[in-house]
Structure 1
């Protein structure tokens, strides 16, 4: 294996946040006159929240709404839910420990805002494992654009081709692959058709499946 870093998506990979993300999205969007349903939130999984809000404002013809108010309320609600309800997904600590022992750098590249990333990292004491965190809010476009992954690799001082990305959404997988990374996918709830993840280099049901032998069997693109 010639990899030098592993970059994790956060929501749905590190923490089981999708259920309360969906609940809070529906609650806040409906409050501001955007009649988004629980089922519709699945279609925007992995995208940056400001881009999601813009999408629904256009979809429902409500471009008169104050987007920043929605974002502030939603982000505050998610930080609160992280502290109250979030759980670490199985295998996170074990996998990060394994990667550290294999001398790989570790980072988080998330579509969530900085305050949400910080809330998760602090709540589960992940900083000792991490070399960097980066939010797609610092990029011109969020996932599936590859910018968040490319910048994270730069922060680590590693070529994107020498990075393994771990994702749970189609948008995230597309971002990682567009960045030139090898991508492991852990589909979050099976709602996406299996063929949606055909670009993935490896598909597993849990981080607990990632052994040293499996990681060593992966090779950077072009190698």
Structure 2
């Protein structure tokens, strides 16, 4: 079994074998930083194909981590079943969704009280299938592979779980600033997704949470279109 890196309040299988020696920890940390910098650079230069160049850094990082971890998949989050089981994560998903929704409402109310225009994007029904694939399949897979598997798995031996969660939320928020979408919910979502990765021990949990969150956003955009053109 992989050794569990811990703080006072969190235990996780992620990073276990990467933490076996100082050399492994340092190399894994350098790989984690390189993954984020590479993705930022690709987004800055306008790389939009998620299945293209942006998929390369996390795949290379995964290969490096598996070598460093001597093939231990649990150390990098490549497990199918979350540690706590599906019932726990079904409830956790509702709680996380409610928390992020409350933050969005609070931010929107604050903007409205300041007399500023509250953004209300919409999407045409004919564009929804394409956006469903990009937002709810491609983006969650590639972004979680990059910022959870690629960054968190390598950074945790150096920063420990809570330090990694904090920094992963920041870099995930910065990513969305590069996208031109500097909403506070993206920063908060980054913290929750990092926590879910470490807590569950499986990359599938943050991928699923990310996909469900984007699905809710897409449904809201589609609803806005119908409100303006079909019901308004």
TM-score by length of 1: 0.29
More strand by share: 1
More contact order relative to length (CA 8 Å, sep ≥ 6): 2
TM-score w.r.t. length of structure 2: 0.28
Larger radius of gyration: 2
Greater helix fraction, Structure 1 or Structure 2: 2
